[in-house]
Amino acid sequence: MPLTGQIAGWGWAQGLAGEFGGTITVEVPKGDAFAEIAPFWLWVVDPLLSFDETTNGQTCAITQIVSDSGTENWSGGVPVAFRKNMSSITFRIYAYQSYVGARFMIDLH
């Protein structure tokens, strides 16, 4: 299955005083696609400066895919996925007591 194109981008979430999350939805030219998301930058709040919080967390995941198989949702998300005739995909980036940057790539086949 030859590669016919790529879509790539990035996003971030800043939850320095608590939690914050956001989503990015990408419309995909209808076709077979392999998608992935991964963090590329992380900064954690110093526990001594954050109201004695000692925990932090980050999530970068695929949370929804629309394809010929229907609409699939994952509450916790998945890092990679392949679907035939994908038409859209939603990525989620979440940060708690931290700042996280994530990049995504969609390979079109």
pLDDT greater at residue 97 or residue 67: 67
Q: Distance between CA 95 and CA 85 in Å, rounded?
A: 31
Domains in the chain, please, with CATH?
5-108 (2.60.40)
Strand order in the sheet with 57-67: 5-44, 80-108, 57-67, 70-78
- Which tokens go with 56? 């932090």
pLDDT category, 55, cuts 50, 70, 90? confident
Per DSSP, the three-state class of 50 is coil
Per-residue pLDDT reduced to its tens digit, 27-46: 999 899 999 999 999 888 76
Asked if the model's pLDDT at residue 72 lies above 60, the reply is yes
